[in-house]
């Protein structure tokens, strides 16, 4: 947990940052992947696991599988960041590539399942994964039990769903907010429409937030999240740079989206105590967004 007077002043709230970028795989995804893999029966485990992921969940699943001594196949989009591909391979995962669309991910994943008999561990639309992700909020509220609100990024919704379930369960009066790039705002639009609006053409540097919601995550967000707001790309870059400068934390663009929403004052939290989940820190240092 970290805090910064400068960042408090910038948003008008007292912020408490949960630094999931310091996880073993540099992302909160370690939590859900471990919970899912360790929940498998011996029969399921011996056939291995498979998932589709832009990187962080894939690396986490490869790591969790290695801890249990089982194989892991990770379906990745052809435009996945090199740092995330390296992480998947470094943890012993086998990468399979596909076109960068949701349909291509799912089709390739199904083909690997049929070929290997591996168990699908969905990146977010899986109750075991959602439960694991919720432990970040559990620890956050153990350290800061008097929070007025908590905000987390939302892509497929696993982290935000787990956060909402835990936070509302422990402290019913707490407000739970999601933060999303304006260029990939399917969750924002889905909650307003009352139905899942799939992500079709995401345009954001926050590559971890380009997924569409699943039926499980949408159900949780619809009933337990107070609002989802969006941030501009300019604000995301500014927030990422501020987190590097003020917290001395290496975070990726997706991690910066909650702070970006607060910087743009999309949510009125003046004077309140706010928990902010920094989701990950897998960054391509050769392509930082503020480099010309």
Domain ranges of the chain: 5-27+127-278, 29-120
- Residue 283's pLDDT is 86
The CA-based dihedral angle spanning residues 123, 124, 129, 135, taken in that order and rounded to the nearest 10 degrees: 120
29-120: in CATH 3.40.50.1100:
yes
Q: Pairing mode, if any, of strands 14-19 and 149-153?
A: unpaired
- Residue 285's pLDDT is 84
The active-site residue, picked from 13, 54, 190, 279, is: 279
- Residue 24's pLDDT is 86
- Give the rounded distance of the alpha carbon of 145 from its chain centre: 23
Model pTM?
0.93
By the 10 Å C-beta count (0-12 exposed, 13-18 middle, 19+ buried), 227 is classed as: middle
> Which architecture, in CATH terms, is 5-27+127-278?
3-Layer(aba) Sandwich (3.40)
- Residue 292's pLDDT is 59
Give yes or no: 29 in active site.
yes
Question: Is the Cβ–Cβ distance between 173 and 145 less than 8 Å?
Answer: no
Identical fold, 5-27+127-278 and 29-120: yes
The active-site residue, picked from 13, 18, 29, 190, is: 29
Give yes or no: 6 in active site.
no
Tens digit of each residue's pLDDT, the chain (292 residues)? 999 999 999 999 999 999 999 998 999 999 999 999 999 999 999 999 999 987 789 999 999 999 999 999 999 988 887 877 888 999 999 999 999 887 898 899 999 999 999 999 999 999 999 999 999 999 999 999 999 999 999 999 999 999 999 999 999 999 999 999 999 999 999 999 999 999 888 899 998 898 889 999 999 999 999 999 999 999 999 999 999 999 999 999 999 999 999 999 999 899 999 999 999 998 888 888 987 5
d(CA 12, CA 272): 8
Residue with tokens 């408490």: 16
d(CA 64, CA 225): 29
């Amino acid at each position: 947990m970290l805090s910064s007077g400068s960042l408090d002043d910038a948003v008008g709230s007292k912020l408490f940052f949960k630094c999931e970028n310091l996880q073993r795989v540099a992302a909160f995804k370690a939590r859900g992947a471990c919970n899912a893999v360790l929940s498998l029966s011996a029969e399921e485990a011996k056939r291995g696991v498979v998932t589709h992921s832009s990187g962080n969940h894939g690396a986490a699943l490869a790591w969790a599988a290695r801890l249990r001594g089982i194989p892991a196949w990770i379906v990745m989009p052809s435009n996945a960041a090199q740092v995330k591909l390296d992480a998947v391979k470094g943890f012993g995962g086998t990468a399979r590539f596909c076109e960068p669309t949701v349909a291509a991910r799912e089709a390739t994943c199904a083909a690997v399942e049929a070929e290997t008999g591996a168990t699908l561990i969905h990146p977010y639309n899986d109750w075991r994964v959602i439960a694991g992700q919720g432990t970040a909020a559990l620890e956050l509220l153990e350290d800061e039990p008097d929070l007025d609100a908590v905000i987390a990024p939302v892509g497929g919704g696993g982290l935000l769903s787990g956060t909402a379930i835990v936070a509302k369960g422990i402290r019913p009066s707490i407000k739970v907010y999601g933060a999303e790039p304006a260029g990939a705002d399917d969750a924002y639009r889905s909650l307003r429409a009352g139905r899942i609006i799939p992500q079709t053409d995401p345009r954001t540097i926050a590559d971890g937030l380009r997924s569409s919601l699943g039926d499980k995550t949408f159900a949780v967000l619809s009933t337990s999240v107070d609002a989802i707001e969006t941030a501009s790309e300019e604000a995301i870059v500014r927030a990422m740079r501020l987190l590097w400068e003020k917290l001395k934390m290496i975070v990726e663009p997706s991690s910066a989206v909650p702070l970006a929403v607060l910087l743009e004052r999309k949510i009125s939290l003046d004077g309140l105590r706010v928990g902010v989940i920094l989701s990950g820190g897998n960054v391509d240092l050769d392509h930082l967004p503020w480099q010309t």
